[in-house]
Amino acid sequence: MKAAPRPNRTSQEHAVQWLRAAIVARELRPGARVVQEDVAERIGVSVVPVREALRVLEQEGQLTYRPRRGYFVTELDVADLEEIYALRALLEARAVRHALPTLDAEALERMESAARDCVVAAAAGDVAAELEANRRFHLGLLEAPDQPHLLRLIRTLWDSTESYRALYYNTPEERDAAAVAHERIMAAVRGGAADPLIAELDAHRERALVVLREILAGE
């Protein structure tokens, strides 16, 4: 994966985005060592912004720092995923109850646009684009002006498992299942009641966890 930094993006932001994409695409696989000099050379920036980018991804949980050895792509096991998804269930239910009454027509259109982008990316087999659209869809539902700390925690949990979320989008069956789940979630949003919406989100999350359990057991 080779890319040059965009003029309107800082070198650190460029390095962060490149590393995230490489992890999602499995170019940097779980357990792999990330050499900052190699990354800097590949993306055409100095070592300093790459070093800062590595720290950002460490805070997100996507990288792990080992003293005197450097940074490695985080390896997650089933127990880690189950804990993270259980925390997401609790936090996202709370976020939904706060955010749902505030969603206006513009917010609904953003979610519907993101859902359409997911379908287009899925049809093209573009996992990175699908992940980005999927993230917009879900976080667009949870955003509310009075809960910034809650959203920060939810984003951190999402970031920590993004590379594994990519795995279940590698099959047409799961891409199709996600599109159906998004339609059901949107229907629940339009219904305006929190409990049915939370139930749809829980079902969507549980299916992903089931798939990920199977994938991790086979690796």
pLDDT at 170: 72
Residue 165 has pLDDT above 90, yes or no: no
pLDDT at 4: 45
pLDDT at 167: 75
Please give the backbone phi and psi of residue 34, each rounded to the nearest 5 degrees, phi first: -110, 110
Which residue would you say has higher pLDDT here, 55 or 8? 55
pLDDT at 140: 94
Which residue would you say has higher pLDDT here, 219 or 131? 131
Q: pLDDT tens digits for 110-162?
A: 999 999 999 999 888 777 788 899 999 999 999 888 899 999 999 999 988 88
pLDDT at 209: 92
Q: Give CA–CA dist 178/184, Å, rounded.
A: 10
**What percent of the chain shows pLDDT beyond 70?**
95
Which residue would you say has higher pLDDT here, 110 or 74? 110
pLDDT at 219: 63
pLDDT at 46: 95
Residue 76 has pLDDT above 90, yes or no: no
pLDDT at 197: 98
Q: pLDDT tens digits for 14-48?
A: 998 899 888 877 789 889 999 999 999 999 999 99
Q: pLDDT tens digits for 82-100?
A: 999 999 999 999 999 999 9
